[in-house]
Structure 1
Amino acid sequence: MLILQGRRVRATALRLPEAAGPRAAEGPALRFLMVGDSSAAGVGAAHQDEALAGRLAQALARRLGQPVGWQLIATSGHRSEQALAAIETAQLAPADVLITSLGVNDVVDQVASSRALAALDRIHALAVDRAGVRLSLHCAAPPMQQFPLLPQPLRWFFGRQAAQFNAALEAAVAGHASRRVLHLPRAMQRDAAALMAEDGFHPGPRGYALWAEALADQVVTDLGLPSRSMAT
């Protein structure tokens, strides 16, 4: 039943494009590198200004009082190993912070957590070595049991798999002072469906804004940066 449901979802799902707009910007205050899948690429938002990377740049700029620099390396459908291959061949700009948004496609494609986490380890190491990253924030997989696109029991199954991936991710980074796991804000976990795009699988602009504010708070806290203003 799960296999049949998965095939049906792949065949009939609404496919939204990645957000339009630039994938890099200059800024003197702080620089972040975002690596990931369709959510990092902004599927569900029309433009990067409304997507995760753009919203995060805006949120950090408000807190720090000046523009931040950023670079986005993300492709719809990428698993962690594919994201690793993308960053291996990319020209990385200097960055203070690495943010990864990966895991959903590993869950959907039933990739072993050990393989996905090994790829995340390598992404972190490359970002440190080649971009000078001081802090890595790994976004946890979302509550897939709330995704409207997925029928039951496939929705329940992927929700359980996502929770297991998150537990393994937490264990993998435990004890690493420069690495953190960031779970989605409570509002997104509690009301995931209401904050999603029309495809029932990706965040919409309101969801990306909430997610970005949580990331900005974590970056400022973990790096001990002075903050001029907080989110309203």
Structure 2
Amino acid sequence: MLAREFAFWSAFPWVLPQALYVRRTAPRFAPAGGPIHGDIPGERPLRLLGIGDSIIAGVGVKELPHALVGQTAQHLAAQLGRGVCWQTLGLSGATSEEVRAQLLPKWPDSPVDLIVVSVGVNDLTGLYTGPRWRRSLHALLRDLSARAPEAVIGVAGIPPFHAFPLLPEPLRALFGYRAESFDRIARVVVAEDPRRVYLPMRFSPDPAMFSDDGYHPSEAGYSGFGAAMAEALADACRRRGSA
């Protein structure tokens, strides 16, 4: 891991002009609209909470039911034959530390059975070191478990930056390399607790999977993402006998 840290920081000055240009010119899409909670009718409803960055906020689609948490709820209800009550706590651009500081205080009063977490992209682009990313993710997941001790926590992996249409080369390749390092760290942190499940972000570089900003998922991208997250959470519920 130290070798990967050294390689990234050695190469980063060469792509810094590209990074600054992308930051200055990239489209800025608003979070999805609509209510931050919803209900999928059914028996013995599960309570699902999504917390994290722009993926939870639904950037890239118009309405939250079409974003990750809403789609996860739809697929989860279909897979388990149960109702799902879902809610989002999302903040576009948030790092894992900002999620802890700004979103955890908004934790709902009602119990939570399942948690979907999306963080890491802004830690990466915010130039967190690997050790800082590890500490921050560990602290966030620890705090989530403290608030919902019985909840299954599904953690989305770091997306493959090398597939992002927005990013030019060689910035795309270097951030793709960095994303792999952050993803490895996340896997290890998630594996520390059996209540957590990890969902790797693997998808083909199909433009249809991206919104018009070339960075966030499209409605089709969120649907596939939600189906995979629902499957991971449903499997975890079955293993625990809570399905």
TM-score (norm 2): 0.85
For the 8 Å contact 2:208–2:220, the answer to whether it is kept is no
Structure 1 counterpart of 2:230, from 192, 212, 216: 216
| 1:91–1:118 distance in 2 versus 1, CA, 3 Å | same
Alignment partner of 1:7 is 2:20: yes
Deviates more, 1:199-208 or 1:175-184: 175-184
Deviates more, 1:218-227 or 1:154-163: 218-227
Give the partner amino acid of 1:72: T
Question: What's the counterpart of residue 199 of structure 1?
Answer: 213
Give the partner amino acid of 1:24: H
| 1:164–1:193 distance in 2 versus 1, CA, 3 Å | farther
Deviates more, 1:101-110 or 1:58-67: 58-67
Partners of 2:228 and 2:133 lie apart in 1 by 24
Q: Residues 5-154 of structure 1 correspond to what in structure 2 (within 5 A)? A: 5-25=18-38, 28-92=44-108, 93-154=110-171
Give the partner amino acid of 1:12: T
Partners of 2:144 and 2:27 lie apart in 1 by 34
Q: Give per-residue Cα distances to partners, 1:5-55, cap 9 Å, x unaligned.
A: 111111111111100011123564211221111111111101011111111
Give the partner amino acid of 1:126: D
Partners of 2:228 and 2:76 lie apart in 1 by 10
User: What SS does structure 2 have at the residue aligned with 1:197?
Assistant: coil
Partners of 2:105 and 2:124 lie apart in 1 by 25
Question: What's the counterpart of residue 230 of structure 1?
Answer: none
Give the partner amino acid of 2:188: A
For the 8 Å contact 2:90–2:103, the answer to whether it is kept is no
Alignment partner of 1:183 is 2:183: no
Give the partner amino acid of 2:16: I
Structure 1 residue runs of 5 or longer lacking an equivalent are 228-232
| 1:94–1:192 distance in 2 versus 1, CA, 3 Å | farther
Q: CA deviation at 1:170?
A: 1.3
Give the partner amino acid of 1:97: L
Using the aligned pairs only, state the percent identity: 33
Partners of 2:103 and 2:92 lie apart in 1 by 15
User: What SS does structure 2 have at the residue aligned with 1:190?
Assistant: coil
Give the partner amino acid of 2:121: V
TM-align CA RMSD: 1.9
For the 8 Å contact 2:72–2:230, the answer to whether it is kept is yes
Alignment partner of 1:157 is 2:174: yes
Give the partner amino acid of 2:21: R
Give the length in aligned residue pairs.
224
Q: Give per-residue Cα distances to partners, 1:121-154, cap 9 Å, x unaligned.
A: 2222222222344211111111101111111110
Partners of 1:53 and 1:156 lie apart in 2 by 29
Partners of 2:150 and 2:205 lie apart in 1 by 33
User: What SS does structure 2 have at the residue aligned with 1:157?
Assistant: helix
Partners of 2:71 and 2:79 lie apart in 1 by 13
Give the partner amino acid of 1:136: I
Question: What's the counterpart of residue 11 of structure 2?
Answer: none
Give the partner amino acid of 1:78: A
TM-score (norm 1): 0.89
Partners of 1:37 and 1:11 lie apart in 2 by 20
